[in-house]
């Protein structure tokens, strides 16, 4: 696993946040409220930033002071957005990738590998929404998780 940032976060109790691409409107607000609660309580969340809701939850969490882990569905970048760079330099963000830097595009397959890594890295799983019979639904089969 490739990393950029504070790898000591991997020894903390962590909560995964996952959400399918398509999501009912009522779940969106619940996901935002959940993210704000995690931020306010200082909990370390492991998430991606692929679906719109995952991006929004990550942005809410990034505005806090708590530790945060971002797992990419592509290789690590060589240049980061200023918000990411500031959080890494402030020692509150770890960016991980299960891929080599040469993997530049997010695909259905890389998203699957990323989601699997998020689950494996986390002591608890929270799901915003999973499309019935979708990729995330299949991945979570047999897993214990909570909904927002």
Please report the pLDDT score of residue 53 as a whole number.
92
Token pair 């402030």: residue: 90
Give CA separation, 88 vs 9, 10, 102, 136, in Å: 12, 15, 22, 28
Domains contained in the chain, number: 1
Name, in order, each residue with C-beta under 8 angstroms of 117's C-beta and a sequence gap of 6 or more.
1, 71, 96, 98
CATH (domain of 137): 3.40.50.450
Domain extent for 143: 2-147
How many C-beta atoms surround the C-beta of residue 141 within 10 A? 7
Angle, helices 25-41 vs 52-62, to 10°: value is 20
How many C-beta atoms surround the C-beta of residue 135 within 10 A? 16
Tens digits of per-residue pLDDT, 18-77? 998 888 888 999 999 999 999 999 999 999 987 889 999 999 999 999 999 999 999 999
If you compute the radius of gyration of the chain from its CA atoms, what whole number of angstroms results? 14
């Amino acid at each position: 696993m490739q990393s950029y940032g504070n790898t000591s976060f991997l020894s903390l109790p962590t909560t995964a946040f996952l959400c399918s691409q398509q999501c009912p409107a009522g779940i969106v607000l619940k996901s935002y409220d959940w993210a704000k609660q995690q931020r306010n309580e200082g909990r370390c969340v492991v998430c991606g930033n692929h679906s719109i809701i995952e991006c929004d939850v990550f942005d809410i969490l990034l505005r806090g002071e708590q530790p945060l882990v971002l797992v990419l569905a592509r290789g690590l970048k060589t240049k980061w957005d200023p918000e990411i760079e500031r959080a890494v330099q402030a020692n509150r963000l770890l960016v991980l990738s299960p891929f080599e830097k040469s993997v530049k595009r997010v695909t259905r397959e890389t998203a699957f590998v990323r989601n699997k890594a998020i689950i494996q890295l986390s002591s608890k799983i929270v799901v915003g929404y999973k499309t019935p019979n979708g990729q995330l639904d299949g991945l979570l089969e047999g897993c214990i998780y909570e909904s927002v």
